[in-house]
Amino acid sequence: MADKTRMNTQLLASALGRENGFLVIEADPTEEAILAVAASEKPQVILLSAILEDDSALGLRVARQLRELHPETHIIMLLDASERNSVIEAFRAGARGVFSRTESLHTLAKCIHCAYSGQVWANSREQEYLLEAISEAISMRPPDGSSLPSLSKREQDVVRCVADGLSNREIARRLNLTEHTVKNYLFRVFDKLGVSSRVEVVLYVFKLMQSSATSNPDAKISDPESAKPPRNNRK
């Protein structure tokens, strides 16, 4: 883990190790130190402050590098506050979870366990931030069938509806299906994509879009600040 300063890192590492039994490896809050520790120790979870040494952009830059160099490691971004732009940028940088300093140490331990198991950690408000931004991006440039080769045509339709923020009832109405059938399709999608929630489905699709944008410079992904909310909250 690497917090804002060396002292912050030591204090939080000590608390996590003492109260939760984690084996915590500390890294100085510099780009070089964090990348070096990640390479030598190969941690399963990296707890990383978005702000490092008073640089508000450094944590995100390091997270992007860690994602490229160590895709098997799960990153949790420590945020000063759970603000919309900070949450979205953290996930864009490759975080599997975001954690606000206003929450308790007990909750942080749960967050770490969740990330370790490969799940996404975000509270309901943070999930809404994420879904709003990604829904707009996908609406502007929806994934084509070749991007989701493991899914059937109907399963791809369900994924697009999930990205639009539709509930199971609304998906059933749009696709002329029963709610029970929609649930069955979602279970199949979860299984095929290796995910366990609707948020992770949208993240999966968003990663495909980012990959497409990298290989095609003319492709556009919307600015999260211009994102519009989905028509309805998901269930």
> Over the stretch 23-57, which tens digit does the pLDDT of each residue have?
999 999 999 999 999 999 999 999 999 999 889 88
| Token pair listed for 50 | 């978005």
- Full DSSP string of 141-178: S---GGG-TTS-HHHHHHHHHHHTT--HHHHHHHHT--
Which pLDDT belongs to residue 196?
80
| Token pair listed for 196 | 């366990």
> Lowest-pLDDT range, 7-11, 37-41, 161-165, 188-192?
161-165
3-state DSSP assignment of residue 114: helix
Q: What is the pLDDT of residues 116-153, one digit of tens each?
A: 988 889 888 888 888 777 666 555 444 555 566 678 88
Higher-confidence residue: 212 or 83? 83
Which pLDDT belongs to residue 220?
37
Q: How far apart are CA 43 and CA 23, in angstroms?
A: 10
CA-nearest of 82, 111, 80, 83 to 97 is 111
Which pLDDT belongs to residue 130?
80
Which pLDDT belongs to residue 156?
87
Average pLDDT over residues 169-177: 91
DSSP type of residue 4:
S
- Full DSSP string of 30-80: SHHHHHHHHHHH--SEEEEES-BTTBTTHHHHHHHHHHHH-TTSEEEEEES
Whole-number average pLDDT of the chain = 82
pTM over 0.85: no
| Burial of 66: CB neighbours in 10 Å, binned 0-12, 13-18, 19+ | buried
Query: Could you give all domains of the chain from N- to C-terminal order, each with its CATH number?
Result: 6-122 (3.40.50.2300), 131-226 (1.10.10.10)
